[in-house]
Amino acid sequence: MATAPEPIVIPPENSNRIILHAPLRLSSSPSLPSNNRSPPLPWLQRTWNVTHSTLPMWRTAKNVRIAYTIIDVDGKQCLDDTVTNENIDGKPPSFMEKAMGMRKICGVDSLQENGGWAWKGKGWLKIAGVGRWEVLGWGEYNGEKWVVTWFEKTMFSPKGLDVYCDGVPSARLYEDIMAVLKGLGVGEVEELLGEMREVKHE
């Protein structure tokens, strides 16, 4: 019988500690400890800069931002999820990019009982099915709000990691996040760290 990991305490907003957990699928526990789940929705509700990512699609993009807004869906609090980005060379979106929604990706996130999230796309993106993602850690580091997310493979994107910040993260914050991710000792996570790239912001 698998042994559940020891509970990890989420840091208060003004803590400078970086505390992360392994993705649920790669953990010995089927759900996150109650004290290590996603941040309160009002805290998460804002526009975040995606500052570092393993996703190949963001290597030709800049100013990648994700806006979370609390909405009511059938009496349950969910998140309206809108990702916007620009072509890295500054060119306006092509007809195909507009038609495919490549520069604006819209969906709705529902919090799951295990502490993870289920994303469902809007419009034609409904064909993508359900995207599973989770918050591996969050907090405030010397005044910088940060979030690390893990997402599973979908019809259109590989599994991966994102780092969000409410601005442009300091080198120290990013270095500490990477060190803690590596220190998790999870093979799939370590492999992805080699794919992590900075996302340009202007």
Mean pLDDT score across all residues of the chain = 85
Separation of alpha carbons 9 and 33, rounded Å: 9
Mean pLDDT of 148-152: 96
Helix, coil or strand: residue 178: helix
The whole model's pTM is what?
A: 0.86
- Asked if 167 and 51 count as a contact pair (C-beta separation under 8 A), the reply is no
Q: If we measure between CA atoms, which residue out of 35, 30, 34, 47 comes closest to residue 147?
A: 47
Q: If we measure between CA atoms, which residue out of 152, 179, 162 comes closest to residue 23?
A: 152
Q: Which residue has the higher pLDDT, 129 or 152?
A: 152
Interval 20-69: pLDDT, tens: 999 988 887 656 555 456 789 999 999 999 999 999 999 999 999 999 99
Interval 158-198: pLDDT, tens: 999 999 999 999 999 999 999 999 999 999 999 999 999 99
